[in-house]
Amino acid sequence: MASGRPSNAAHQMSLFDLIDAVFPSAPAAPAASVAPALAPPPVTERAPIRPPAPVAVAAPVASAEYRHAEADREIRLGDCLVAYRLRRARRRSIGFAISTEGLTVSAPRWVGVGDIDQALRDKSGWILRKLSEQRDRARRIDAARVEWRDGTSLPYLGDTLIVVLDPRVAGVHLNTDAQGLPGVPQRTLHVGLPQSAEPAQIRDAVQSWMQRQARTLFEQRCQHFAEQLGVRMTRLRLSSAQTRWGSASADGSIRLNWRLVHFGLPVIDYVVAHELAHLREMNHSPAFWDVVRSVIPDLDQRKAQLREPTLPLFD
């Protein structure tokens, strides 16, 4: 989506950060990048070396234990026990790096353990917060992992979709059981593969089907809202971006993330209308939001739903 001021035809308009929603922890090292479904790079912070001072421990985030896989030292920060890895390095200050493995402390060879412990206490609030964020993120990733097999479930158009391996089927076929029981998923996706199919085969077949459904649905919704907004879309492309739900260019081209098909139609319509509104207002000014609200009056509610679910990982 757009930000700030009008853009030329090559300018891409971003919506907002998905990784914020599903993968929210801060990036770690300046030169590193975050890859899909992988552990994020370490988060770094520096603390100056100084003589011991009165201890001022920040209020603990919660009673917990954080232990690095290669921990060789530990310290209690508030109510939390933090076991960390200590690295001696040729550097001028004490540095902290927090990753999914835990806390790593890098310190000059000549700095004493007491100074290191004091630096840890001085930065205890930051350390505990980042450790908690990393733990929460790891839990979300685990919850998002899909076991690609017969009977696995996926979110599709705001509902639950059950994958059924059925070698009698040619390709992939969606079946909707209108006579299903209340509370029981009524959508089954019959995939023409044997029970012995490899997980990657199942994943690729399901993903290809979802992307085809996404294009068909997005084209329909774009046409619908383009007419309402009085704009002309010149081209629609699917995106697999990790940090954008959609983007728009002044030349009329629109990109939409195919994984929007996990959401219900109201959320999809919000993103579609949002991007098309940029063809009238290439910014996020009050005038832009007025354009979106002209077709999506409850946009705030729909926008909030983009941050709620844990989406499946296609890795």
165 part of a folded domain? yes
- Residue 219 maps to which CATH number? 3.30.2010.10
The range of the structural domain enclosing residue 75 comes to: 38-144
- Give average pLDDT by consecutive 10-residue segment, the chain, 315 residues: 40 39 38 32 42 40 75 89 90 88 91 90 91 83 83 92 92 76 71 94 95 96 96 94 89 95 95 96 94 95 82 78
Q: Decide which of 119, 144, 169 is a domain's last residue.
A: 144
Q: Are residues 123 and 72 in the same domain?
A: yes
* C-beta atoms surrounding 315 within 10 Å: 12
Q: How far apart are CA 121 and CA 118, in angstroms?
A: 5
Domain boundary among 80, 112, 144: 144
Instruction: Tell me, yes or no, whether 212 lies in a domain.
Output: yes
**In a domain? residue 70:** yes
> Are 188 and 160 contacting, i.e. CB atoms less than 8 angstroms apart?
no
In a domain, 27, yes or no: no
124 lies in the same domain as 263: no
Is the domain of 285 the same as that of 169?
yes
Asked if residue 192 belongs to a domain, the reply is yes
In 3D space, the residue among 99, 299, 16, 231 whose CA is nearest the CA of residue 290 turns out to be: 299
Same domain for 269 and 198: yes
Pair (131, 197) in one structural domain: no
Q: Which two tokens stand for residue 43?
A: 């988060």
* Pair 63, 79: CB distance under 8 Å: yes
β-bridge partners, 174: 189
| Whether residue 153 sits in one domain with residue 112 | no
Would 47 be classed as within a structural domain?
yes
The pLDDT assigned to 202 comes to 94
Question: Do 299 and 152 belong to one domain?
Answer: yes
In this prediction, residue 101 carries a pLDDT of 87
Domain identity same for 288 and 201: yes
Q: Residue 106: what pLDDT?
A: 92
State both tokens at 183. Answer: 């509370």
Q: Is residue 235 part of a domain?
A: yes
Where does a domain end: 144, 175, 190? 144
Q: Which of 242, 184, 187 is nearest to 210 (CA)?
A: 187
Same domain, 245 and 216: yes
Asked whether residue 5 is domain-assigned, the answer is: no
Sheet with 235-239, edge to edge strand ranges: 13-14, 246-248, 253-257, 235-239
Q: Do both 244 and 126 map to the same domain?
A: no
Whether residues 221 and 135 fall in one domain:
no
Residue 262 DSSP SS3 = helix
Number of domains in the chain: 2
Same domain, 138 and 170: no
Q: What is the predicted pLDDT for the residue at 16?
A: 39
